[in-house]
């Protein structure tokens, strides 16, 4: 890939949040510290249920303190917009689905990657156009999760490693689902986390699919992309592996009522960060 490249990410849409209360409102709804963003900066953030389940993972881009872009999969746009509008009450904030007149572009500049929101009448960025697969492959190898309609409300923030990739603030104060997320952080080790795998299987794996790993652990697919040499790279939530080579396999008994999950011949793929939070 050249030093400058871009991919048009048609599977992502955008919500625009504006108003004098935009920052304060998002701060009370999302898990990241929105108030810490300067204009032009962005962060991953989770939108959670009151029970701490992740409804959606958003890339929040601060245009200015009164205007934010929320980038997320198009199949969750309506769900997220409805959820956010439910809690507006008297806040001076306007929420709009702007996917019809804006598009999301993944940019590479040297080793740096970023998402950019452009209006449909703006030209494409300078650089070489590449397939969206290149962007999603980079997301998988970076261990950056995404939630789709098929997997919405399946996981907690820690299961998706949001606490390890900057998507959760434990100091900013309350937001929907905050008590559950904080309890998991302060009271003990998370038993199931997002992990990377590679497989020779070519039949596309879909978000939400459940498969048995060779060591008996039950995995739920979060994201999967074709690998350059065939097969697939994927992120999935599974119990953490046994801590020692001579330990018993980490069999997951959380789904004993339904054992008819097909085997997935997969190998561990290291992620670029440790699977434990900094305390």
Q: Which domain holds residue 158?
A: 4-183
- State whether 41 and 134 are in the same domain: yes
CATH number for 95: 3.30.1360.120
Is residue 279 one of the residues assigned to a domain?
no
- Specify the number of domains making up the chain: 2
115 and 154 part of one domain:
yes
Residues whose CB is less than 8 angstroms from the CB of residue 140 and which lie 6 or more positions away in sequence, other chains included: 196, 223, 224, 225, 233, 234, 235
pLDDT at 241: 86
pLDDT for 1 equals: 64
- Same domain for 256 and 133, yes or no, is no
**Please, are residues 22 and 81 in contact by the beta-carbon 8 Å criterion?**
no
Enclosing H/E stretch for 67: strand 67-73
Q: Are strands 266-269 and 192-199 parallel, antiparallel or unpaired?
A: antiparallel
Is 241 found in the same domain as 168?
no
> Residue 37: what pLDDT?
97
- Choosing from 183, 208, 230, the residue where a domain stops is 183
Residue 179, classed as helix, strand or coil, is helix
Same domain, 82 and 176: yes
Q: Which residue has the tokens 């701490």?
A: 52
Q: Cβ distance 106 to 35 under 8 Å? A: no
Mean pLDDT by 10 residues, the chain (279 residues): 89 98 96 96 97 97 96 98 91 96 96 95 95 97 97 97 96 93 84 96 96 95 95 97 55 50 95 79
* C-alpha closest to that of 107 among 79, 92, 127, 91: 127
Q: Are residues 179 and 212 in the same domain?
A: no
Tell me: do 175 and 196 sit in the same domain: no
Domain annotation covers residue 13: yes
Residue 37: how many other CB atoms lie within 10 Å: 20
Nearest-CA neighbor of 237 among 151, 136, 142?
A: 151
Shared domain check, 240 and 108? no
β-pairing verdict for 4-8 and 128-129: parallel
275 lies in some domain: no
Task: Give the β-pairing of 4-8 and 102-109.
Answer: antiparallel
Residue 278's pLDDT is what? 53
Q: Are residues 50 and 34 in the same domain?
A: yes
The beta-strand segments (E) located in 74-217 are 94-97, 102-109, 112-119, 128-129, 192-199, 210-212
Distance CA 72, CA 57 (A): 7
Bridge-based pairing state of the strands 94-97 and 67-73: unpaired
Q: Is 111 exposed, middle or buried (0-12, 13-18, 19+ CB in 10 A)?
A: exposed
Within a domain: 276: no
Asked if 175 and 236 sit in the same domain, the reply is: no
**109 lies in the same domain as 75:** yes
pLDDT in tens, 42-99: 999 999 999 999 999 999 999 998 999 999 999 999 999 999 999 888 889 999 999 9
Instruction: Mark out the alpha helices in the chain (DSSP H runs).
Output: 22-27, 77-86, 132-141, 178-187
Residue 4 in tokens = 């400058």
- Please, which residues have CB within 8 angstroms of residue 269's CB and are 6 or more apart in sequence? 141, 195, 196, 197, 198, 233
Where b means 16+ CB within 10 Å and e means fewer, 191-205 reads ebbbbbbbbebeeeb
Same domain, 201 and 129: no
Q: What is the pLDDT of residue 182?
A: 92
CB atoms under 10 Å from CB of 257, counted, come to 5
Answer yes or no: is 238 within a domain: yes
Task: Please tell me the distance from the alpha carbon of residue 42 to that of residue 230, in angstroms, as a whole number.
Answer: 33
Instruction: Assess if residue 274 is contained within a domain.
Output: no
Query: Pick from 141, 162, 183: which residue ends a domain?
Result: 183
Q: Last residue of a domain, which of 183, 202, 228?
A: 183
């Amino acid at each position: 890939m050249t030093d400058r490249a871009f991919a048009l990410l048609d599977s992502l849409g955008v919500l625009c949040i504006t108003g004098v209360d935009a920052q304060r409102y998002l701060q009370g709804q999302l898990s990241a510290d929105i108030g810490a963003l300067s204009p032009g900066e962005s962060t991953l953030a989770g939108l959670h249920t009151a029970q701490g389940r992740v409804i959606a993972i958003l890339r929040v881009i601060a245009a200015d303190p009164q205007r934010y872009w929320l980038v997320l999969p198009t199949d969750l746009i309506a769900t997220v917009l409805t959820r956010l509008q439910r809690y507006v009450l008297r806040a001076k904030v306007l929420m709009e689905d702007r996917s019809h007149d804006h598009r999301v572009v993944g940019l590479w500049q040297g080793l740096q990657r970023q998402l950019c929101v452009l209006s449909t009448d703006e030209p494409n960025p300078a650089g070489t156009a590449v397939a969206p697969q290149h962007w999603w492959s980079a997301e998988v190898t970076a261990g950056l999760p995404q939630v789709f309609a098929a997997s919405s409300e399946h996981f907690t923030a820690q299961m998706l490693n949001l606490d390890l990739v900057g998507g959760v603030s434990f100091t900013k104060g309350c937001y929907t689902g905050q008590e559950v997320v904080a309890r998991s952080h302060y009271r003990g080790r998370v038993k199931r986390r997002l992990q990377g795998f590679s497989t020779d299987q070519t039949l596309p794996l879909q978000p939400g699919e459940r498969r048995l790993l060779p060591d008996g652990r039950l995995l739920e697919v979060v994201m999967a992309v074709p690998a350059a040499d065939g097969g697939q790279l994927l992120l999935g939530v599974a119990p953490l592996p046994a801590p020692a080579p001579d330990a018993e396999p980490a069999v997951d008994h959380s789904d004993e009522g339904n054992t008819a999950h097909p085997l997935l011949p997969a190998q561990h793929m290291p992620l670029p960060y440790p699977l434990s939070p900094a305390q």
